[in-house]
Amino acid sequence: MTGKRAGSRRAAPASSARTSPLALAICVGITLCVVAWGYLVYAAIDFGTAARGGSGSSAWMFMALACLGAIACLFVGLLLVARLSRTLGITREPPAPGEAPRPIGGKRAAR
C-alpha cells in the first residue's frame, strides 16, 4: 500500500499488565507505615492511661512522642499513597510552572 494515508491495519500489540517493582516497594512501604501507625496509636493510648493513673511525667513525654510518631507515620503513608497513584497512572504530574495550562475544549473553544 502506498499513498498519503496508507498504514498498517493492525493496532500495536497491547502491553501486558505487569506489576512494577517500584509499585510493589511503595505498597510495602504503605503497609509498614500503617502498621507502625497502629502500634504507635496503641502505645500512645497505653502511655496516656498510665500517665493519668499517676505514673509520672515520663509517661506524658512518651505519650507525646508516640503521638508525634503516629502523625509522622500517617503523613508518610499518605505521601506514599499519592506516589503509588502516580506510579500506577491514576494521576498525572502537575504542569511545569512556566507552562500554560491546556485550554478546555480545544482550539475552537479558545476562539
Q: What is the pLDDT of residues 51-101, one digit of tens each?
A: 888 877 888 999 999 999 999 999 999 999 999 999 988 888 877 777 776
Q: Which helix (H) or strand (E) holds 47?
A: helix 21-52
Mean local confidence (pLDDT), 4-29: 77
Is residue 101, in this structure, part of any structural domain at all? no
- The C-alpha atoms of residue 52 and residue 60 are separated, in whole angstroms, by 9
Side chain identity, residue 28: V
Is residue 81, in this structure, part of any structural domain at all? yes
Confidence of residue 14 (pLDDT cuts 50, 70, 90): low
Q: Name the residue range of residue 82's domain.
A: 39-87
pTM, two decimals, is: 0.69
Q: Which residues contact 25 (CB under 8 A, 6 or more apart)?
A: none
> What pLDDT is stored for residue 42 in this prediction?
97
Closest CA to 23 of 77, 91, 83, 93: 83
| The pLDDT of residue 5 is above 60 | yes
Report which of residues 36 and 102 the model is more confident about: 36
Is residue 68, in this structure, part of any structural domain at all? yes
DSSP 97: T
Q: Give the number of other Cβ atoms within 10 Å of residue 79's Cβ.
A: 13
Is residue 56, in this structure, part of any structural domain at all? yes
For the chain, the domain total comes to: 1
